[in-house]
């Protein structure tokens, strides 16, 4: 097993361009699959997208992470059913959940930046960065959602029901990525 992992790592290092595209495609597919884990709520569903975005940002770094999110958003924009509950189309960017989609770019940029700086050496620091990055998703989401809900209700519809889930997803993402990173770093 160790020989296979070492060989794979060496291949990824020697084929940098191909490895980048593989990571980007894998990241976008992961986000698309996790988006299908959805609990319908109005006007914003609870989904696995944010967990996947956090894992992608932490594990792929800034460049590949941003590229994976952009590819995911592009796939949805052209009509592939990759958004929550299999939805798709350009209209998703202009509806109540559009800001959260834009927020994924900022989120993965924050996570990827700190991942590239070595944050994965510390579970605690990785969790803190994941929580901050999760807040970025909420900022973009709430700004956009405020255009669709009655004045003074944006937090009620777009934040309060999702705070605990956001915290759990951030902690879970760090718990998944940090030990995996440490394992592969030893190879």
Using CB atoms within 10 Å of the CB of residue 11, give its burial: 0 to 12 exposed, 13 to 18 middle, 19+ buried: exposed
For the entire predicted model, the pTM comes to 0.90
pLDDT tens across the length of the chain (187 residues): 678 877 877 887 888 899 899 999 999 999 999 999 988 777 777 889 999 999 999 999 999 999 999 999 999 999 999 998 899 999 999 999 999 999 999 999 999 999 999 999 999 999 999 999 999 999 999 999 999 999 999 999 999 999 999 999 999 999 999 998 877 666 4
């Amino acid at each position: 097993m160790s020989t296979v992992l070492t060989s794979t790592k060496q291949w990824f290092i020697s084929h940098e361009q191909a490895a980048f595209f593989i990571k980007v495609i894998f990241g976008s597919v992961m986000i698309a699959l996790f988006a299908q884990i959805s609990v319908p709520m109005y006007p914003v569903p609870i989904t696995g997208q944010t967990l996947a975005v956090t894992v992608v940002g932490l594990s792929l770094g800034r460049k590949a992470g941003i590229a994976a999110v952009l590819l995911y958003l592009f796939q949805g924009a052209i009509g592939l059913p990759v958004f929550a509950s299999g939805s798709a189309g350009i209209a998703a960017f202009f509806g109540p959940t559009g800001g959260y989609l834009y927020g994924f770019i900022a989120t993965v940029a924050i996570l990827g930046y700190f991942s590239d700086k070595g944050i994965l050496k510390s579970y605690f620091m990785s969790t803190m960065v994941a929580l901050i990055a999760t807040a970025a998703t909420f900022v973009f989401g709430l700004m956009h959602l405020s255009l669709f809900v009655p004045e003074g209700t944006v937090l009620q519809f777009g934040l309060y029901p999702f705070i605990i889930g956001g915290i759990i997803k951030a902690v879970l993402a760090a718990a998944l990525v940090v030990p995996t990173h440490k394992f592969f770093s030893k190879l």
